[in-house]
Structure 1
Amino acid sequence: MEKRWVPTSICNDDTVKKIAEQLNIDRSLAQILVQRNICDFDQAKYFFRPELAHLHDPFLMKDMDKAIHRIEKALSEHEKILIYGDYDVDGTTSVALAYSFFSQLTKNIEYYIPDRYLEGYGISTAGIDYANDNGFSLIIALDCGIKSLDKVDYANSFGIDFIICDHHLPGDEIPKAVAVLDPKRLDCEYPFKELAGCGIGFKLAQAYAQKHAMPSETYLQYLDLVMVSIAADIVPVVGENRILAYYGLKKLNTNPCEGLRALMEVSGKTENYTITDVVFTLGPRINAAGRIDHAKHAVAMLLCQVDSNSLEQSESINLKNTERKTYDQDITREALALIGDSDILINRKTTVVFNENWHKGVIGIVASRLTEKYYRPTIVLTKSNGQVAGSCRSVVGFDLYEALSGCAHLLDQYGGHKFAAGLTMQEHNVEALADKFEEIVSASITEELLTPMIKIDAEIELAQIDGKFFRVLSQMGPFGPENLSPVFLSNKVYLDRAPMAVGANHLKINIKQQNSPTFECIAFGLGEFQNLLQPKVPFSVCYTIEENVWREKRRLQLNIKGIKVN
C-alpha cells in the first residue's frame, strides 16, 4: 500500500538557529528539537539529561494520601492484602511491582490475575469472591477498575475495601473505592496524565517509601518493570514516562530483575535493548502467558529471585509465545481469506470479521495485522465463554473509542482508548455492530486518514550523518509515541551496488550521494523495489538512523521506511 510522505510543519528559523548555536549541533537536529517544543537551552538540558529528581511528587495525585493511609492501617492491623491486576504486560508488571514492594512490609499478601477466558477484562465477581472467601479486606487493583462501579459496590457489601490504580479514561462516575488513583480523573491535578498502569503502581510505592523515609532503592529497583509496561502499553514516551523509560532501559541493560534477565536469555537477545526491542521481543512473550494459558505464570516469572527456577519459568513462557505465533498466523490467514472472498468487505471503510472458533487470546494481534494490511478501523470477533468478544484497532488520527461509544447500545461492555479497545456483546448483534460501526466511521473519517502516512522530520544530505550527528540523535531517545525516532528524507541518492533480497519481502541496499560515504540500508517490506532500482538512476528515500551491532562491531545503518523512484 502506497504511503503519503508528509513533512513536519516548518519551524521558526531564528529559534532553530539559536538552538543549533547554543547546543553546537546540526541545524537539522535543532529543527527536530523545535518541532518537539524544545525551544531554549533549559528545555534542551531537561530533555537531553533526564533526572530522577524531575519525577513529580506522588502526593500531587488525587487520593494518594487516602491510599497510603489505608495501606498503613492494613499493615498495622495485619490485614490480608490482595494485589489484583489485568492479564496483559502492563497489568502483570504492575502486579509484580506492587506485590514485590509491599511484600517487604508484610507476609499477609497475595496476588490475583483474572482468567482471560473465564473472567474477562478488569475486576471480576470471581476475584472478589476469592478475596471474600479467603479473608482479604483490602484489594489494590492495578491497570483496571476505573469503570468497575458495580464490582466495587459488590466488594463493599462484604466489607472489602478497594484502592484503584488505573490509567484509563474514567466514566461519568468514579467507583466508591477508598482511593482512586488515576491522573485522567477530571478532578486530579497531577501534572502528568499519561502514566501506564505500572507507572501508577510505581507512584504508589514511591509515595509510601517517601512518607516512611525508606531508601529510594526500595522502589527504584522496579524501574525495568515500569519501562517494560511503558513500551508494551504504547503510552507516550514524553515527560515523566520518558524519565522512567530512560532509567528503566539502563537497568534492563545492566542489572535487570531475575525474571526479565532469564526471559532475555531465552529470547536470544541479552543486551543493547531499546524500547522497540522490548515491544517486539519481551512484550509478546510476557503477553503470551495470558493469551495461551494464564497470566499468573508471567507474574511468577517476574517475581523470580536469583538462583531460582527463573530460566525454567521463562522457557515455559517462551514456548507459549511459540504456540501463540501459530494461532496468530493461522487466524490471520483465515481472516484475510474471509475478507478476500467478500467484495462488500473490501469496499467498506471498516473491517469487522467474526469466527466463533478463533482463539480469543490472539484476536488483538490479528486485528493489528488486518489494520496494517487494509489500513482502516478494524474489529475482530470470536466466541468466548458464551459471549462474543472483540478486539479493535484504529488508524492514526481516528478516535476508535468514540466510534465504539456510538455503538454502545449493541455492546455489553467495552473499554480502551483512541487506537485500541476491547468489547463483549451478544452474537445476535454482530451484524448490526458491523453496519453501525461502518456507518459511524464512514460519516467522520477522511480519505486522507485511510492512507498510511510517513511523517518526515527533516530533509538532509547523507554527508551530514557522522558520529557526532548520531550521538546527538541517540540522546533524543528513548523513542516511542510522541517522541518517535526521527525520519529523514534524502533525495537524489544512488545505488552503490545491486539490491539484495532478504527474507520474504525485504531488501538490503547500499546508497550514496555525491560527496557522501556509502550507507548500508535495510528496507523491510519493500521487496517490490528490487527491480525498480537501477544503477545511476536517482531515487528518494526516507529512513531512520540506527546502529547495527554484530559481533561487538558497531556501524551506522539506515532503516528505510519508503522509496520513491524519481
Structure 2
Amino acid sequence: MTEKRWIYKPIPPTDKIKQVAEAINVSPEIATLLAQRGINTFDEAKAFFRPDLSNLHDPFLMKDMDVAVERLTKAIASGEKIMIYGDYDVDGTTSVATFYGFLKNHVYQNASDCPLEFYIPDRYAEGYGVSQAGVEKAANEGFGLIISLDCGIKSKEKITWAKEHGVDFIICDHHRPDDNDLPPAVAILDPKRADCLYPYKELTGCGVGFKLLQAYCKTQNISETLLLPYLDLVVTSIACDIVPITGENRIMAYYGLQQLNSNPRTGLKALMQSASLAGKMDITKVVFGLGPRINAAGRIKHAYDAVNLLLTDNEEEATNFANIIAKHNTDRKGFDTDITAEALAIIEDNIGLKNAKSTVLFKNDWHKGVIGIVASRCIEKYHRPTIILTESHGHAAGSARSVPGFDVYDAIEECAEHLIQFGGHTFAAGLTLEISEIENFRRKFEEVVNRKILPEQLSPMIDIDLKLPLIEISDKFHRIMCQMSPFGPQNMTPVFVSENVYLHGQPIKMKEKHLKINVFQEGSPAYTCVGFGMVEDYFNHLHEGKPFSICYTIEINEWQGRKSFQLMLKDIKV
C-alpha cells in the first residue's frame, strides 16, 4: 500500500471566516469552505451560489474576435462553403456539434442546400490536429473557410498550405500556443495567447467556439437565448476536458447541467439511457458516464459516430448511435485492461524503470486509442509523469499524463530536439517522434523530470478542506454544501477529516474488496462509511475501542425510500 499524504488547505483568518458566516448566515465550517475558495463578501457569495448568464464576458474582449466575426459573416452572406473542423475527443466532437448544429438550425434554417460540412480527422490515418487530408479536401471541394475547434494552434504548416490554396482559417483553440510562431490564420481565438486580454483563460475548445457564436449573434441581432440549449454540450466539454470549474466555466456548467437534467438533446438522452445513468446528472456522472462513451467512438472506429449522435433529433437514430458507441466503449475497456497489465508488467520486470522518476514505455502494437488512458492507469500505481508510446505511420506516437503540481508540457518542451511535434496542457500532452529517438527521448525526459520534480510530487496526495467533528454533519450543512456545486477542478467536492473516531460494530466486506464500517465520535451518532477497494489495506487493522482518523466526502444514500448520510472514504489513518 502506498501511503497517501493528507494535505490540508490553509484555514483563512478567524475574522474572515466570521465575516463570511455573518454576511450570509452560515456555519463557521461552511464559511471556511467559501473563504478557501476566495468568497469573502455577500456579493461574491451571491455570484457563486447563483451563477448568472449575464455575468458571461463580452466575447469581443477576446483577441481577433472582431476579425473572426467579420470573416464568418462574409462567408455566410456570400454562400461560401464552410468546413467545421474538430478534434476527435469529447471537447472536439461537442465543439463541432455545437457550432455546426447552431449554424445549420438557426442561421441556414436547415436549408437542404446548406453550404456547411463538418470534418473530424481519423485518429489513426491522420492523427491529432489539422491534417493534410482535411485541408486538401477543403481545397479540392471548393471550401473557402475552415473553422477549427479544439485544434489548430499548433498546425502552422497545414494552415500555411491551406492559405496558399485559397482556404482561410478561423482557429478556436484553448491549447498553449507558440506565441512566436502562430499559424497564418485570418483569426486566432485562444485566450492563452500572450497578447489576448480576455479575462477568463480556462475555456474549453467548445467554450471558445460558443463565444464566437455569441459574438456572431450580437452582430446579427440573433437572440442569444437560442444558444442556451447548446450548453448541455458545453458542460460535457468542460467536465471531460478537466478544466477549472470557475468563472465562465462555472456559469456555463451550472446552466448546462440544468439543461442535461431538464431537457437534454436527443443524443445525450440516448447516451444517458445506454449508460444506465439514473438520478440527477452532475459533473462526475458526465466525466465517467458520458465522456468515455463519446471518446470511444474516435478511439475504436471514427468520431463521426459521436458527432452524428450529438446532432440527431431522431430518437430511433439516437438509440442506434448510442448502441454503436456502447459497443465501441466495451471494446475500449478490453484494450485498456490488457495494455495496462502489459505496461505495468514491463515496469515491474525492470529495476531501472521501477526506480525511475518518470515512465516512458513503447510497444509497437499497443492500440493508439487507449494509450492516454493507460498512462493514467500507470500513474495510479506509480505516481509519476508517464508517457505511453505506440507505432503510428512509421513513427512513435504518444500520450503524456502528469501528477499534481508537475508541468509535463514544459518537461516535454525541454526534450523538443528529439520530437517531430508535440502539444497539450500542464497535465496532459501528445507527442510524435522517430522510433529511433525513443531511447534518447526517454533519457532526456527522465533527466528533466529528475531535475524538476519535487520529492512530495512522487507520492499521491489528498487535498483536505478541513477537520470536521461528525456532530456537525446535518441536513442544513449538507444542503448548503451541495449548493456549492457544480464541483470540479478548483472547486472540488469538499473533503473532510474526522479524528479519533471509533468502530460501531464490526467491519463488513462487500464483494470481498470494498469496506463498510459504522463509526462514531464521543457524543455523535454513528455514520455508515464505504471505502471502495479498501478491504485489503484496512479490514484487519480496525478494531473496536481503538481510535483512528477518516478522510471522506459526504453523500446521501437512499435505500427503500429512506435517506441517510453516507461517508465515502478516501483514506484511513490507524
Instruction: Please report the TM-score for the alignment, with normalisation by the length of structure 2.
Output: 0.97
Q: Distance in 2 between matches of 1:504 and 1:8?
A: 34
- Mapped pair 1:121 → 2:123: no
1:450/1:544 Cα in 2 relative to 1: closer, same or farther (>3 Å)? same
Residue matched to 1:131 = 138
Deviations 1:382-426 (A, max 9, x none): 111211111111110011011101111111111111111111111
User: Any stretches of 5+ residues in structure 2 without a counterpart?
Assistant: 109-113
**Of residues 549, 552, 559 in structure 2, which corresponds to 1:543?**
552
Residue matched to 2:532 = 524
Residue matched to 1:199 = 207
Residue matched to 2:111 = none
Q: Distance in 2 between matches of 1:422 and 1:342?
A: 25
Q: Distance in 2 between matches of 1:73 and 1:137?
A: 11
- For 2:527, the aligned partner's letter is F
Q: Distance in 2 between matches of 1:404 and 1:73?
A: 40
Q: Distance in 1 between matches of 2:510 and 2:218?
A: 53
How many angstroms does 1:116 deviate by?
0.4
- For 2:292, the aligned partner's letter is P
- For 2:203, the aligned partner's letter is L
1:218/1:549 Cα in 2 relative to 1: closer, same or farther (>3 Å)? farther
Q: Distance in 1 between matches of 2:401 and 2:90?
A: 18
1:147/1:304 Cα in 2 relative to 1: closer, same or farther (>3 Å)? same
- Mapped pair 1:249 → 2:257: yes
Residue matched to 1:169 = 176
Q: Distance in 2 between matches of 1:414 and 1:440?
A: 16
- For 1:543, the aligned partner's letter is Y
Residue matched to 1:564 = 573
Residue matched to 2:38 = 37
Residue matched to 2:4 = 3
Do 2:123 and 2:299's aligned partners in 1 also have CA atoms closer than 8 Å?
yes
1:320/1:552 Cα in 2 relative to 1: closer, same or farther (>3 Å)? farther
Do 2:130 and 2:155's aligned partners in 1 also have CA atoms closer than 8 Å?
yes
Deviations 1:257-293 (A, max 9, x none): 1100000000011431110111111000000000000
Deviations 1:475-504 (A, max 9, x none): 111111111111111011112222222346
- Mapped pair 1:534 → 2:535: no
Q: Distance in 1 between matches of 2:525 and 2:140?
A: 70
Residue matched to 1:376 = 384
1:96/1:550 Cα in 2 relative to 1: closer, same or farther (>3 Å)? farther
1:161/1:395 Cα in 2 relative to 1: closer, same or farther (>3 Å)? same
Q: Distance in 2 between matches of 1:111 and 1:183?
A: 24
- For 1:267, the aligned partner's letter is A
**Of residues 500, 504, 521 in structure 2, which corresponds to 1:496?**
504
- Mapped pair 1:435 → 2:443: yes
CA RMSD of aligned residues (A): 1.2
Deviations 1:158-202 (A, max 9, x none): 111101000011102222111111111111111101000000111
Superposed, 1:321-360 pairs within 5 Å as 321-360=329-368
Q: Distance in 2 between matches of 1:547 and 1:282?
A: 22
Residue matched to 2:59 = 58
Deviations 1:342-380 (A, max 9, x none): 111111111111111100000000000001111011111
Superposed, 1:128-527 pairs within 5 Å as 128-171=135-178, 172-503=180-511, 505-527=513-535
- For 1:25, the aligned partner's letter is V
Do 2:362 and 2:389's aligned partners in 1 also have CA atoms closer than 8 Å?
yes
Residue matched to 2:22 = 21
The DSSP-based 3-state class of the residue aligned with 2:430 is: strand
1:309/1:451 Cα in 2 relative to 1: closer, same or farther (>3 Å)? same
- For 1:524, the aligned partner's letter is F
- For 1:484, the aligned partner's letter is M
How many angstroms does 1:308 deviate by?
4.4
Do 2:151 and 2:175's aligned partners in 1 also have CA atoms closer than 8 Å?
yes
- For 2:544, the aligned partner's letter is P
The DSSP-based 3-state class of the residue aligned with 2:572 is: strand
1:550/1:94 Cα in 2 relative to 1: closer, same or farther (>3 Å)? farther
Superposed, 1:67-82 pairs within 5 Å as 67-82=68-83
After TM superposition, where is structure 1 displaced by more than 6 Å over at least 4 residues in a row?
Answer: none
How many angstroms does 1:549 deviate by?
4.4
- For 1:314, the aligned partner's letter is A
Q: Distance in 1 between matches of 2:471 and 2:465?
A: 17
Q: Distance in 2 between matches of 1:135 and 1:552?
A: 61
Do 1:261 and 1:270's aligned partners in 2 also have CA atoms closer than 8 Å?
no
The DSSP-based 3-state class of the residue aligned with 1:309 is: helix
Q: Distance in 1 between matches of 2:469 and 2:37?
A: 22
Q: Distance in 2 between matches of 1:259 and 1:503?
A: 35
Q: Distance in 1 between matches of 2:512 and 2:3?
A: 19
The DSSP-based 3-state class of the residue aligned with 2:540 is: coil
- For 1:99, the aligned partner's letter is Y
Do 2:270 and 2:315's aligned partners in 1 also have CA atoms closer than 8 Å?
no
Q: Distance in 2 between matches of 1:228 and 1:309?
A: 21
Q: Distance in 2 between matches of 1:505 and 1:135?
A: 60
Deviations 1:113-169 (A, max 9, x none): 000011110001100011112111110000000121111110001111101000011
- Bigger drift between 514-523 and 130-139 goes to 514-523
Superposed, 1:84-95 pairs within 5 Å as 84-95=85-96
- For 1:59, the aligned partner's letter is F
How many angstroms does 1:215 deviate by?
2.2
The DSSP-based 3-state class of the residue aligned with 1:449 is: helix
Calculate percent identity across the aligned residue pairs: 55
How many angstroms does 1:554 deviate by?
3.9
How many angstroms does 1:551 deviate by?
6.3
How many angstroms does 1:506 deviate by?
2.2
Residue matched to 2:564 = 555
The DSSP-based 3-state class of the residue aligned with 2:134 is: helix
- For 1:41, the aligned partner's letter is F
Do 1:209 and 1:218's aligned partners in 2 also have CA atoms closer than 8 Å?
no
Deviations 1:45-83 (A, max 9, x none): 111111111111111111111111111111111111100
How many angstroms does 1:110 deviate by?
0.6
- For 1:3, the aligned partner's letter is K
How many angstroms does 1:548 deviate by?
3.1
The DSSP-based 3-state class of the residue aligned with 1:123 is: coil
